[in-house]
Structure formats: C-alpha cells, structure tokens
Structure 1
C-alpha cells in the first residue's frame, strides 16, 4: 500500500507541471514586454523598488497576473528583476490554467514561486489546494504543504476518459 501511494505521489508531482501556471514563462520571456497597470506607482529608483497598488494587472504574452499590490525589487548587481511580491487576491492565469492565493513571491536567485494562503492551482477540472504551494522553476517540481495539522493538502484529479468509454 505504501509503495502504491509513493508511485501515485510521484506521478502526481510529475503531472503538476501540467496543472501549474508556469511562472517561468511569466518572468523569463526574453524580449516580450511586461505590461503593468495599477491605480498608483511609487518608485524608489535608488533602492530598486517599485510598488504598484490598486487593481494591479500585469500581462506578458498569454500570462496575466492580478493582485491588490505588487512590489518589484531589482537585483542590485544585474539590474534585472530579483524579486516580485504580490499581495492580496493574487490570480495568475494562462489559457485554461489558474493559480490563486493571498500572496505570491517570486525570487530569481533560487528561481522559485511561492503561493501563500488559500493557495490553489486549477487546470481544467483538476486542482490542488493547500496553505502553501511552492514551484521550483529550474528543477521543475512542486511542493504543496499545509501550515497546520488540521488542514491537509487536497488534490482532485479527473482521469482522462477515452471517447466511447463509459
């Protein structure tokens, strides 16, 4: 029974790449521009900090991110984006995939996106829900965990059905 559970978990984790909205495609798309709109922008150029507030919408290619607030931190050495923190009603969509949470943190140094608080990733009818979902972009794997023992990670997977089968 334990072996079957481990095999199922391995298959599930491999399949989560299909479930996840790939934040790598959002952050690292070469020459595709990032378009951000918000009610307010406060720029601290010397600190390399840019704070977008109020109905933040960021798009890049076919990926759309919305949140109440977005903080963009530049890497002091490279001048590239080093860290992005989205706070409040975070929604990331790409085609039929959607990731939501109370907060999302992207860090370039370890190429990781963390969804925190009511974290959920949906692809079609399949979904995973937990307190925290961590997606390691370079290593292409997902860790989902609960912050307490009373609420557990929940995964719903609908097996593919072939045409003509019942």
Structure 2
C-alpha cells in the first residue's frame, strides 16, 4: 500500500522556555511516496479506514516511523486520500540523526499538524529534549515541546514534573 503524506521528524535549534520551539522537517519532500509494512493490514471500507498492526514501519523520503499500531483514516474522492494517521505503541520517528519518540502520534494531514504524546523524547545528535507533548506544524516547520502534565493515554500523567528538560551540546573552543 503506497500513499503520499508527510511524516514527522525531530529538529535542532531548540530553545528552552516554558515550552521549547524547534524548526523541523526543513527540506523534507512531503510529496514523496509513502511505504507501509506490518504484520497485518486490515482495510475497513465501511469505516473509511485502514488498520495496520504489528511491527509497523512507514517510510517516506528518508523519514521512518515505527509503532505497534497505525490507523489510517481516509476518504474516497477521485481515489483514496488520507486524512489522518493515529500511531500507538512505542512510536519512534527518525530522519538522519534526528529522533522523536512517544506513546502516541496523531497526524492530521488536512491541518498539517503532527502531535506526539506521552513521555516525548526528542534528540538530534548529542542534543536531547524531553516533555509531555510535541506539536509539529508542517506548514511553518515550527515545533513546540510542552512540559505541562497533561493527561496521556488511559488518563496517566505524561510528565512527572510538568516541565520541559533538555541537554544541549556546547561548541568546544580551544583553551
């Protein structure tokens, strides 16, 4: 099954405030084909969705998303057009040395927004950032990591202290 859709990526240029902002998906080809593979793919035509489960892997132009389950919501207008992707179960998104992970990812293709929830970890090389929610705006390339102790899956807290934390590499200068 192949579809064209953008996915997520974690970025650099992180700024720590109450929330942290990052520029992501710079130069990513969102029109490239998307490949799905999994242990099981079930098409539910009456519900206009596809359920992909078991060792799910989605790739597009250098981006890779892995999860245990992915639900693809679509509509049929001159062929199938994807509206939304919901991934769960150890979601990891990688591109080069960039990596984002969380419990759940929601990708709204119509609004061009990706939201990662639940113990979010964001890294690029030696730089690390952690929070409870990551929102990526694909239209602007801006991402925000939120540290609020919002409720996650099953009503559990997604952040133990409600703050964003990070570690950033400092340029080494000769003494």
Partner residue of 1:35?
35
1:137 matches 2:138: yes
TM-score normalised to the size of structure 2?
0.74
Question: Shift in Å at residue 8 of structure 1?
Answer: 6.7
Q: Is the 8 A contact 2:146 2:163 kept in 1?
A: yes
Larger strand percent: 2
- Structure possessing the higher radius of gyration over alpha carbons: 1
Partner residue of 1:152?
163
Question: Shift in Å at residue 44 of structure 1?
Answer: 1.2
Partner residue of 1:102?
103
* Structure 1 pair 24–99 and aligned structure 2 pair: CA distance change class (3 A): farther
Partner residue of 1:71?
71
Q: Is the 8 A contact 2:26 2:141 kept in 1?
A: no
1:25 matches 2:36: no
Question: Shift in Å at residue 157 of structure 1?
Answer: 1.4
Partner residue of 1:120?
121
Report the Cα distance in structure 2 between the residues aligned to 1:80 and 1:40, rounded to whole angstroms.
21
Q: Is the 8 A contact 1:23 1:113 kept in 2?
A: no
More relative contact order, 1 or 2 (CA 8 Å, 6+ apart): 2
Aligned length: 148
Partner residue of 2:10?
none
Structure 2 unaligned blocks of 5 or more: 1-14, 150-159
Structure 1 unaligned blocks of 5 or more: 1-6
Q: Is the 8 A contact 2:120 2:131 kept in 1?
A: yes
Secondary structure of 1:46's match? Answer: helix
Give the aligned CA root-mean-square deviation in angstroms: 2.5
- 4+ runs of 1 displaced by more than 3 Å? 23-26, 75-79
Q: Is the 8 A contact 2:16 2:164 kept in 1?
A: no
TM-score normalised to the size of structure 1?
0.78
